[in-house]
Chains A and B, each alone.
Chain A
């Protein structure tokens, strides 16, 4: 899990520890169910477990909870589920739909290859349909055929505030574009038309150029493809097929490649989004050639359909590199593989959590030491801050703690990492009673290392949404 407040550049670096492991979901065989029931029961178990994990967010998303922020202010935070990054089977699991359907919209099975947009799933409507099916008001044919839902009645997202799960499902460039549309479909269609040997011969015939990968054995013999292999192939593929394919097919290939490249932009404007749509339209206009050449009968492929949702998603949540599945795949190594290997492989989950705790503890200590080294010269700011505080007990407690834990006293001005912090409760906020007329509060900090209590003035500050314009220094007031 991570939070969207952190910039995506930081979020995607595994070394920054901006993603936290939230839980290990059970992988049960469910042998107590008969074969046909097992898959739907697995869906139900997943939703039950997610409900257990997320139940605290229901209240906090409505009421808000006070939290310390890195700028030293306490804010009232409303945690809301905004995006769910997953691959396609998992998206269907979350959206509770059949895998022959789209987890985001109501498109029917045989329309998925078209470029027409269907109306989006509506959370309330879906829940109503499920309820009706549970009470037996909808026939099984209608439920399976027209709605394409799974019979899961207790959904983890049903009670989450401000959350529309169908909107939360984000594009997945790695699986949908690089691996799915490009490699699994487009490349295999082209190699069927051209023939594997002819295509390999073209790859071999290419001259090597610095920065471009030379596929000297061709591509047909390669079994394992990684994300970066796909990207390297995309760079040369249009040049390889040009001249070998029909003119329309080349335009279709170019449409897909253009779309893939636009989709990876780290920053979009309305103009680039329009170009993305144009590229997709040019693929759809020319795709019929693959049917004419006999390599495809239809285009009812979920990955090709999913491209329709990219631009809307970017407008809602920002560019796609913030939701790349490459990061969770990378973290899977740290959180699951490395942790498992360090256990003795028996009752391993407990050992894995202990191992993760120890790794976290070392990271926290290390980052605290780095941070302390960088900030220890700011003694004058500490003094200025304590001047502001007019609570009588403050100077005493500062003096006392100074001899015991000078480190902590010095860092109090700027920030204290969470572990030196007890999060303020509402009770804490009311206890010092000295509410300032301008909305300042005094908050009690408890330092568990030496149990000293230090008072500190914090400001509950409002953040206003803003419009930001390029080249203008002062943002216009909101």
Chain B
């Protein structure tokens, strides 16, 4: 595949299916210091964000993860008698069991709708500075 210019190459990339869209929200912060005109000073900051549902959807639909995904909590035991619990993956922990089995079921929802939870496990957020890299 060859492209005549950078522009056509970029256009080809931009025509590919896109991941979750970004949106920009301006947040106005009103301070407590008065300006020269007697009104409080304000500052505008930019908040760039994506729709978290689109992001979850993107992660959940990715066929690369088909073999590595679990939809229900498990209690894993090391022995046949079920005395020695094992904890490794997130779905083997108590939290997931507690939420999916106890809380959602007890509310008496229709059986098929409440069986799967996509749980957000980790949030990584933009850090302003970090040493070490």
State A279–B60 Cα separation when bound (angstroms): 39
Q: Across the two chains, which residue of chain B brings its CB closest to A69? A: B60
A394 at the interface (CB under 8 A from B): no
Q: State which of A23, A31, A225, A322 has its C-beta within 8 Å of the C-beta of B47.
A: A23
Which A313-336 residues sit within 8 Å CB-CB of chain B?
A: 314-319, 322-323, 327-329, 331-333, 335-336
A28 to chain B: which residues have CB within 8 Å?
A: 29, 43, 45
Query: Does the CB pair A470–B79 fall under 8 Å?
Result: yes
Binary per-residue interface labels of chain B (87-118) against chain A in the complex, 1 for a CB within 8 Å, 0 otherwise: 11111111111011101100000011111111
State A462–B40 Cα separation when bound (angstroms): 56
B115 to chain A: which residues have CB within 8 Å?
A: 75-76, 461-464
B91 to chain A: which residues have CB within 8 Å?
A: 4-5, 318
- Chain B proximity of A472: nearest CB distance (Å): 6
Point out residues on B near A: beta carbons under 8 Å.
10, 13-14, 16-20, 22, 24-25, 27, 29-33, 40-43, 45-53, 55-66, 68-80, 82, 84-97, 99-101, 103-104, 111-128, 130-133
Given contacts A77-B118, A418-B57, A468-B76, contact A22 B123 (CB under 8 A): yes
State A272–B125 Cα separation when bound (angstroms): 32
- Chain A proximity of B64: nearest CB distance (Å): 6
Total interface residues on A, CB under 8 Å, equals 127
Q: State which of A6, A23, A467 has its C-beta within 8 Å of the C-beta of B74.
A: A467
Interface pick from A41-49, A131-139, A187-195, A293-301 = A41-49
Point out residues on A near B: beta carbons under 8 Å.
1-11, 16-34, 37, 41, 45, 48-49, 52-54, 56-57, 60, 64-65, 67-71, 75-86, 90, 162, 167, 224-227, 266-271, 273, 314-319, 322-323, 327-329, 331-333, 335-337, 349-350, 353, 357-358, 360-362, 364-365, 367, 371, 414-421, 423, 439, 448, 460-472
Query: Does the CB pair A332–B77 fall under 8 Å?
Result: no
State A416–B112 Cα separation when bound (angstroms): 23
What are 18 A-B contacts defined by CB distance under 8 Å? A1-B55, A3-B59, A4-B121, A20-B20, A21-B126, A25-B47, A31-B43, A32-B29, A64-B114, A68-B57, A78-B104, A162-B99, A224-B131, A317-B90, A318-B88, A361-B13, A367-B64, A465-B73
